[in-house]
Amino acid sequence: MAMDRLEGRVALITGAGSGIGRESALRMASEGAAVMCADINPEGAQTTAAQIAEHGGRSATMELDVTSEAAVQDALAQTVSVLGGLDVLMNNAGIGGAYSWDQTISVNLTGVYYGTFHGAALLAERGGGAIINTASIAGLAGLLTGQLRDEPLQEGAGAYVAAKHGVVGITRQFAVTYGARGVRVNAVCPGYIHTPMTAQISDIEGGEAFIASLHPMGRMGEPQEIAAAAAFLASDDASFVNGVALPVDGGYTAR
Ligand SMILES: NC(=O)c1ccc[n+]([C@@H]2O[C@H](COP(=O)([O-])OP(=O)(O)OC[C@H]3O[C@@H](n4cnc5c(N)ncnc54)[C@H](O)[C@@H]3O)[C@@H](O)[C@H]2O)c1
């Protein structure tokens, strides 16, 4: 079933060089959007763009470190100049749980703040649009991953959960602030998804089975399942959806 919900739209996706960002870029392009694939890893972004081209879609790539406010502003401006507009912004770039407090906050929270702050202003100026922030189940509750290892807490423990709760807060605040100006701001909250970020789970004995068991559906998710939710939130099918933190987690947060 081909859908053209995003025909004529332009989307900027951060962290589009891997995992959830890549699949969201492919999905939005398949629904008709021209996609700027931005990533700190330019080769990853180029691979995504090549896959979009294989399917007949339109895209461009750029190297972007979301921890630089000027670079985020430049990415928004470049999307408009290279692809001719901006209608959708997915602040998706992120790092996993193994980093310091400062690194985690800087990519996963400050990076999303720069995108939402400057992106909402630009979208409003252009007449409206949709922002999708990739939060997490860790934006809604604490994580049980400590049960996987019997080690002392590392520096940065809890930073991922704090950052993702912050992303949900930013999402709600900007949804309220910009709702009247035609900019919808929502978050998607994935459960554990098979991407390079979670690849090490299966290196731990029983890791995948334990993580799967935390989801009432008894499995981890696939990045395409998050991309489907992101495309919905980006589209006019979500025209009255604003300020939600949508779990896409097989029921993880339902219990
Ligand atoms: N995989 C999961 O289980 C899961 C669950 C919930 C939320 N998330 C969130 O989904 C998002 C995408 O994660 P993923 O699983 O696809 O991981 P991934 O590692 O496959 O992809 C993340 C991408 O972000 C890029 N990136 C990292 N730092 C960056 C920076 N400073 N500037 C620009 N790009 C940067 C990486 O190069 C990579 O291409 C993240 O925000 C992550 O926290 C993932």
Q: Average the pLDDT over 41-68 and give the result.
A: 98
Report percent pLDDT > 70 for the chain. Answer: 97
pLDDT grade, residue 16 (50/70/90)? very high
Q: How many domains does the chain have?
A: 1
Whether residue 160 lies in the annotated active site: yes
Q: Using 50, 70 and 90 to split pLDDT, how confident is the model at 198?
A: very high
Domain containing residue 184: 10-245
Q: How many angstroms does the Cα of residue 227 sit away from the middle of ligand 1?
A: 13
Best CA proximity match to 244, nearest among 182, 175, 183: 175
CA of 199 to the centre of ligand 1 (A): 12
Q: What is the pTM of this model?
A: 0.97
Give yes or no for residue 153 having a pLDDT over 90. Answer: no
- Of 160, 178, 192, 252, which one is the catalytic site residue? 160
Q: Which atom of ligand 1 is nearest to the CA of 107?
A: 31
Q: Would residue 61 count as lying in a domain?
A: yes
Inside any domain, residue 225 = yes
Residue 3: inside a domain: no
What per-residue confidence (pLDDT) applies to 93?
A: 99
What distance in Å separates the CA atoms of residue 207 and residue 201, rounded to the nearest whole number? Answer: 5
Within-domain flag for 52: yes
Q: Which pLDDT band, with edges at 50, 70 and 90, does 2 fall under?
A: low
Assigned domain for 2 exists: no
Q: Provide the pLDDT confidence category of residue 11 given band limits of 50, 70 and 90.
A: very high
CATH number of residue 15's parent domain: 3.40.50.720
Determine the Cα–Cα distance for residues 210 and 9; give it in Å rounded to an integer: 41
Ligand 1, CB within 6 Å, residue ranges: 14-15, 17-21, 39-41, 44, 64-67, 92-95, 107, 111, 134, 136, 190, 192-193, 195-198
Is residue 253 situated within a structural domain?
A: no
Quote the pLDDT of residue 80. Answer: 98
224 lies in a domain?
yes
Judged against a pLDDT cut of 60, whether residue 148 lies above it is answered with no
Distance CA 137, CA 255 (A): 12
- Region 213-219: mean pLDDT is 97
- For residue 165, pLDDT over 60 is answered with yes
* pLDDT at residue 157, as a whole number: 87
Q: Is residue 165 part of a domain?
A: yes
Report the atom number in ligand 1 closest to the C-alpha of 137: 6
Place 1 in a pLDDT band, splitting at 50, 70 and 90. low
Determine the distance separating the centroid of ligand 1 and the alpha carbon of 161, expressed in angstroms: 14
The CA dihedral of 170, 139, 41, 52, to the nearest 10 degrees, is -90
